Chains A and B, each alone.
Chain A
Amino acid sequence: MSTILTHIAISDGKIKRSSLEVLSHCKKIAESGGHSVEAVIIDEKASSYVDGVKKYGASKIYTVEDPVFKNHMNTPLLKALAKVMETANPFVFAFASTEGTKDILGALAANQDASVLPDVSSFELIDGGIKAKRPVMAAKIVANTEAKGDKILVSVRSGSYDLVESETDAEVVNIDFNLDDSDLKATLKEIISASGDTIDLNEAEAIVAAGRGVKDEEGQNLISELASVLNAGIGASRALTEAGVYDPSLQIGQTGKVVSPQLYIAVGISGAIQHVAGMANSKVIVAINKDPDAPIFEVADYGIVGDLYKVLPPFIEEIKKIKN
């Protein structure tokens, strides 16, 4: 019996749903292969998240707790992950594919001499390794990939798997962590912007995304109003994050966030492949665009051809009515 380890990401005081999705999947494949599934939480307050993780079936939960993990910095995180790998000795170590993961995955693989497949949309165990599907070429096609070896790292796109609860009485193991100040190669000077009370796009059930068609404050107000009646997160195309209209952390696409909400409403977005790469896995896609030939209509379940300034007000009114 070998171990599949799952990394539990914490963001803004909450467990990231995407890492519980990964844990749910690992539980399933571990059981069918006769392996054990374990989880690790690395955070300033790691132990406070243990109960939330127990629901998803890990047989052992490692915690690494230290104030240094308050903000993301790659050096301490790498040190902690390397120590966890030495303790747990997993043959597969699975992560949710977040910006934090992207910052360390390659370095951890190099450090541990491990094989690594990033940003996969699914993976399974095979003899001597794993096989995985990875969207490539701006997510236009899928590559069937394999990683072999006795240590394999994998990161999984959010929304790839459903959450499956299966409470266990996991053993909790705290791993000691000491960081020498001299180990801190890079220093964090400041956090410039944090989304704070806005809805985390990776976790949002619904997302309203604005593109260049949203030209002014009136348009932005309509976006905010629609998001608010839907309790949705607000996202944006690069055209608008680049123009400084929306915070760069709200950018959706190949360079931005990869999201998979139940409902994605693209407003005034043309549907360039780099944008679609980040949202095509949404369950239901609505597009509002005045150009009937906009490529976004090719991926939309419901395409509204029209001027967003004329379409959004009655759309918002109707949703309000339905919600009441």
Chain B
Amino acid sequence: MKFYVCIKMVPDVNAPLQIKDGQLIQDADRMILNAYDASAVEEALVLKEKHGGEVEVVCIGSAKASETIRKALAMGADKATHIQTSGDEQYDSGSYARILAKFFGDKEYDVLSLGKQSQDTDSGLTGSMVAELLELPYTTNAVGLEAEDGKLIVKRQGDSGQEMIELPTPCAVTCSNDMNEPRIPNLKGIMASKRKPVDQIELSSLGLSDDELTPNTSVKGYEEKPGREPGKKFEGEPDEIAREVAQLLDTEANVL
């Protein structure tokens, strides 16, 4: 099976965040492979180990994104395409989806997979947008994947339970990070990644019009989240503090 996995470089959400004059200050040293994409890579590698085939990662991003690509190759992906941008663009999910759809337009593959959302914007739109633009059958929020005679069997998490969906290939799927624990590249993988082919292509070579790249949505600025008032902490005898809090929930918070 031929897998294409779309990956993105994102700021580490666990790093301290700073907002200055409405702008988000991001530490260039704390950029990582989006956790959901890492799960998509892992799942493709597992299916390749089972059924054979090839895993290629595709990343849109600045020169710095080559670190992210290297990480996926070190995990075991066979090759990569880096669609190079300056990194200063304010693309939204729609712009990314149109770039990816253009790139995949003339490619052959069985499965196109992506993370279900990216950790920085938490939008979760790109996967189903690409699928629609390419007219592919798709499923989002996969928590399990199996391949079977040219079909992809997807377990997805829905609102009230899990659903088993069968997709004919070629198809698209977005992955939750609940489905696996992405492998940590070992030394051998890291060494091998240096010899793997990375196809560098200029965004301009895809021939997208300005219109197709123009985002429909924009971020005007960032602000701190209104914090919660600091609450009360109760320490002491379990019996006593448990009763005290239960009482307060009734008389003070009014929620019982």
Contact = CB atoms under 8 A, between A and B. Distances in A.
Q: Specify whether A and B are partners.
A: yes
Interface of A: 11-12, 71-75, 78, 98-100, 102-111, 114-119, 131, 134-149, 185-195, 200, 202, 206, 230, 238, 241-242, 247-249, 251, 254-255, 262-263, 273, 280, 283-286, 292, 297-307, 310-315, 318-319, 322-323
Contact of B19 (A109, A141, A262): A141
Given A188-B165, A262-B255, A280 B228 contact: yes
Contacts of A142: 222-225
A249 B243 contact: no
A119 B153 contact: no
Contacts of A109: 94, 125, 129
Contact of A107 (B132, B241, B243, B248): B132
B256 A319 contact: yes
A105 to B, nearest CB: 6
A50 B164 CA distance: 31
A319 B230 CA distance: 24
Contacts of B219: 143-145
10 contacts: A106-B124, A109-B125, A135-B225, A138-B13, A142-B222, A186-B139, A191-B161, A193-B162, A303-B233, A304-B245
Nearest to B36: A255
Q: Which range contains the number of B residues in contact with the other chain? A: 35 or more
Interface string B124-167: 11111101110011111101000000000101111111111111
Nearest to A112: B132
A314 B124 contact: no
Interface in B7-41: 11, 13-14, 17, 19, 22, 24
Interface of B: 11, 13-14, 17, 19, 22, 24, 93-94, 97, 116, 119-129, 131-133, 136-141, 143, 153, 155-168, 171, 176-178, 216-225, 228-235, 238-239, 241-243, 245-250, 253, 255-256
Nearest to B12: A137
Given A99-B141, A107-B138, A305 B125 contact: no
A285 B116 CA distance: 29
A247 to B, nearest CB: 8
A241 B179 CA distance: 11
